[in-house]
């Protein structure tokens, strides 16, 4: 049975194309070939920017997890079906291992089936609440609710409850430890872009920056920085070029001068917003598209910049 059915292709080529979908979840992904097949289909329908999240929900998918991760833009660990395909005592390790591998690769990972009891009840069980928090502490990027919001009696409460648990868990998440794990996994010598991204995050943490501002053409620089899980917001300022290949976006000569003026304007706007909100001096770390970075002190705007 093919992973990508004819009906799937029909929906993608009609509704998906009309709405320029951002992400497609590929259910029952069994190998990297499934992801490549969908990628080729998307490119043939002018949806090359659509991301693919491979949904791993059986033993075969787990067996080929590494190659799937390499091809996909993100992973969804479907614990409901994994709980059927695997012995119960193996599900937790599959989840933790999968999350760790995604974190080290800098790719998004989402887990499912967390508060099933809220299909019929207003509150989750203590075990479910702890399960959500532990998933966040393990490094998951998102929680996907299913039956809780599809046919549950308390869909809004389910979203709010899970959101509050995630927010509370994030307050004690050890970003410093995560940074060290990723840096150790990348190893040395680092690629130039990895070195810049990790150094930017390290500098931002040391000066307790309010935010990291990334100027980027393709978004890759912002994703690399996000990989190191900075404790402050990462703001990506993107300058797209219509009709061009995002992987080939470049800036030269007078265009660079013009862009730098735009950078300064946006940078000062962000400084003003943060200064007005906090009424204190702030640090912003700026990372440019040319893989340069510098740290500046942001003072309340007085018309002199």
Pair (131, 211) in one structural domain: no
pLDDT band at 238 (very low <50, low <70, confident <90, very high): confident
Task: Specify if 300 maps to a domain.
Answer: no
What is the reported pLDDT for 49? 86
pLDDT of residue 274: 53
* Top-confidence range, 4-8, 115-119, 217-221: 115-119
Predicted confidence (pLDDT) at residue 289 exceeds the cutoff of 50: no
Q: Which residue has the higher pLDDT, 73 or 264?
A: 73
Let me know whether 140 and 203 are in one domain: no
Q: What is the pLDDT of residue 256?
A: 41
Q: Where is the domain boundary, 140, 173, 206?
A: 173
Whether the pLDDT of residue 271 is over 90: the answer is no
Q: What percent of the chain has pLDDT over 90?
A: 51
Q: Which of 144, 173, 202 is a domain's end point?
A: 173
Of the candidates 205, 196, 212, 201, the one whose C-alpha atom is nearest the C-alpha of residue 298 is: 212
Q: What is the pLDDT, as a whole number, of residue 143?
A: 94
- Whether residue 262 has pLDDT greater than 50: no
Q: How far is CA 212 from CA 71, 124, 134, 199, 208, in A?
A: 28, 36, 27, 12, 10
User: In this structure, what CATH number is given to the domain that contains residue 86?
Assistant: 3.20.20.60
> How far apart (Å, rounded) are the C-alpha atoms in residues 57 and 49?
25
Supply the pLDDT for residue 88: 87
Sequence-distant (≥ 6) Cβ neighbours of residue 149 within 8 angstroms: 155, 158, 159
How far is the first Cα of the chain from the last one, in angstroms, to the nearest whole number? Answer: 63
Q: Is residue 25 part of a domain?
A: yes
**Is the four-CA dihedral 272, 273, 276, 277 of positive or negative sign?**
negative
User: Within this chain, do residues 190 and 232 fall inside the same structural domain, yes or no?
Assistant: yes
Q: Quick one: pLDDT at residue 42?
A: 94
Residue 302 located in a structural domain:
no
Same domain, yes or no: 82 and 190: no
Highest-scoring range by mean pLDDT, 68-82, 203-217, 265-279, 283-297: 68-82
Residue at which a domain ends, from 149, 173, 197: 173
Q: Starting at the earlier edge strand, list the strands of the sheet with 74-77.
A: 23-26, 51-56, 74-77, 108-112, 142-144
pLDDT in tens, 123-143: 999 999 999 999 999 999 999
pLDDT of residue 141: 94
pLDDT (mean) for 259-271? 48
- Domain count along the chain: 2
Q: Look up the domain containing 19 and give its range.
A: 6-173
Nearest to 194 by CA among 118, 68, 287, 63: 287
What separation in angstroms does the CA of 81 have from each of 28, 58, 120, 174, 272?
9, 7, 21, 30, 49
How high does pLDDT run on average in the chain?
82
């Amino acid at each position: 049975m093919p992973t990508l059915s004819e009906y799937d292709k029909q929906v993608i080529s009609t509704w998906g194309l009309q709405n320029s979908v951002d992400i497609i979840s590929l259910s029952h992904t069994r190998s990297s070939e499934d992801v490549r097949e969908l990628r080729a289909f998307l490119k043939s329908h002018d949806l090359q920017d659509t991301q693919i999240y491979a949904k791993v929900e059986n033993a075969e998918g787990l067996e080929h997890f590494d190659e799937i991760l390499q091809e996909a833009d993100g992973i969804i660990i479907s614990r409901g079906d994994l709980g059927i395909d695997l012995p119960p005592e193996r599900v937790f390790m599959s989840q933790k291992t999968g999350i760790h591998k995604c974190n080290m690769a800098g790719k998004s990972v989402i887990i499912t089936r967390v508060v099933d009891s809220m299909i019929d009840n207003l509150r989750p069980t203590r075990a479910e609440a702890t399960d959500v928090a532990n998933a966040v502490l393990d490094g998951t990027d998102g929680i996907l609710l299913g039956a809780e919001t599809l046919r549950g009696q308390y869909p809004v409460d389910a979203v709010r409850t899970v959101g509050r648990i995630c927010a509370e868990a994030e307050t004690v998440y050890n970003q410093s430890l995560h940074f060290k794990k990723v840096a150790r996994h990348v190893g040395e010598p680092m690629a130039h872009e990895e070195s810049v991204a990790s150094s930017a995050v390290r500098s931002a943490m040391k000066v307790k920056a309010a935010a990291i501002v990334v100027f980027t053409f393709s978004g890759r620089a912002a994703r690399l920085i996000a990989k190191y899980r900075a404790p402050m917001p990462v703001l990506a300022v993107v300058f797209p070029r219509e009709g061009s290949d995002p992987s080939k976006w470049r800036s030269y000569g007078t265009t660079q001068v013009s862009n730098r003026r735009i950078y300064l304007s946006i940078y000062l706007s962000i400084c003003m917003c943060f200064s007005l909100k906090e009424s204190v001096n702030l640090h912003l770390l700026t990372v440019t598209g040319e893989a340069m970075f510098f740290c500046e002190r942001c003072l309340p705007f007085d018309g002199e910049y």
